[in-house]
Amino acid sequence: MHNHNSISSVSATCASAQSTYTPETTHLPVELREAVDAALQECFDKIYCSDELLGNKLTQLRGPLDSLSKRHGLLLEDAIAHAFAAAGDRYEVSTQVSLVVSKEAMALVESNQIDKLDDLNLPVGGSHGKRVIIDILAFDHTTGDLHVISVKRGGGAQGGQAARDARKDLTAAGLMLKNLMLRKGLPVLSVKKVLIDWYGRSGIVARKTVTRETVDAYFGLPIAETVEVMSAYMKSGIAERMVPRLLAAIGNNCRQADTDGQVENTGSLPEVRAEASAETADVRPSLAECLSVLPLRRQGRQMQSVGA
């Protein structure tokens, strides 16, 4: 289930910026639209602590932009998950899946080449180990593939220990999730571990990495268009809200010319439909039911089923 925030949509942008920031978002899912609106409202409503060098006006100008770049990374995950869910009955999708990876699993990953671990699956159990958060977990009923997906915005190099940990975490989690799914009765044939490095500059070296240019071909779904429409909608909201702050920062208190116009939403996302999976004699558990045995996080974003 999703928690919806009842927040009004972004109003018209100034006419001078329409050519750059007018997105065609008619068919952007309501949940994504509301998530973007909530992020914009929170970041622009916040009063940022004034920087002594920049002064208050420039601080209030920079503050939302710094915050929104981080929020955009979270919204990328949501948009990608919704693209999977839009394929109908083919995929079951959960986000923010919390998993305790055992020390044994981490030891295997650290001491072996990744390609030698493909056929292994380790039991999930116990509370001792490292807690790993899987950004997106998608089960393909057609192929039996369980996609274990890590999403990075990739706007700048992550590098260092964080990059190495991200690669190991994804591999170790995959080893344990296959065992869990099979034990619960979900017919997982293979686990596909993939890093989506959206802008391609995260600095993380994974066995399989896709970017916004290659993500559609890898999954066979129109994921990139969903994400880009969401990003365009977010850009439009940022541009609109930045105008009065920019005018205040440069000391221009003149009223903006009355050239605003309503954004004409004419675009559309192609409908993605997939044939329902073939009926089976046995009743299979859902992905969410298999994952229900995993403990919830003590704080932060919780695991959700997308499109259920």
- SS3 state at 134: strand
In the predicted structure, residue 194 carries a pLDDT above the cut 70: yes
Burial of 263 (0-12, 13-18, 19+ CB in 10 A): buried
SS3 205: coil
Domain assignment present for residue 126? The answer is yes
Q: Would residue 29 count as lying in a domain?
A: yes
Least confident of 127-131, 155-159, 268-272: 268-272
Q: Are 235 and 23 in contact (CB under 8 A)?
A: yes
Flag whether pLDDT at 16 surpasses 90: no
Quick check: 275 pLDDT over 90? no
211 and 200 Cβ atoms separated by less than 8 Å: yes
pLDDT tens per residue, range 96-114 = 998 888 777 788 877 877 6
Residue 224 belongs to some domain of the structure = yes
Please tell me the total count of domains within the chain.
Answer: 1
Q: Is the pLDDT at 218 greater than 50, yes or no?
A: yes
pTM of this structure: 0.72
**Residue corresponding to tokens 């009223």:** 255
Residues 6+ apart with CB under 8 A from 64: 43, 44, 46, 48, 238, 241, 242, 245
Q: Is residue 276 part of a domain?
A: no
- Give the residue with greater pLDDT, 142 vs 164: 142
Nearest to 207, CA basis, from 115, 101, 109: 115
Q: How far apart are CA 43 and CA 253, in angstroms?
A: 23
What is the rounded CA–CA span in Å between residue 303 and residue 296?
7
Question: 46 by DSSP, 3-state: which?
Answer: coil
pLDDT the model gives residue 227: 95
Yes or no: say if 148 and 179 are a contact pair by the CB < 8 Å rule.
no
For residue 117, is it within any domain? yes
**143 is a domain residue:** yes
% of the chain at pLDDT higher than 90: 33
Select the more confidently predicted residue: 29 or 5: 29
Report if residue 9 sits inside a domain. no
Residues 6 or more apart whose Cβ sits within 8 Å of residue 164: none
Token digits for 36?
Answer: 């973007």
With the C-alpha atoms ordered 260, 261, 265, 266, is the resulting torsion angle positive or negative?
Answer: negative
Domain for residue 8, yes or no?
no
Which one of 125-139, 155-169, 193-207, 211-225 scores highest in mean pLDDT? Answer: 211-225
> For residues 29 and 86, what is the distance between their CA atoms, to the nearest angstrom?
10
Domain that holds residue 102: 15-271+287-306
**Other beta carbons within 10 Å of 207:** 14
The Cα 50–Cα 71 span in angstroms is 21
Half-sphere exposure of 82 (CA within 13 A, CB side): 24
Out of 112-116, 134-138, 275-279, which region has the weakest mean confidence (pLDDT)? Answer: 275-279
Q: How far is the C-alpha of 102 from the C-alpha of 83, rounded, in Å?
A: 32
Q: What is the pLDDT of residues 157-192, one digit of tens each?
A: 655 566 667 777 888 888 888 888 888 899 999 889
Lowest mean pLDDT among 160-174, 208-222, 233-247: 160-174
What's the pLDDT score for residue 32?
93
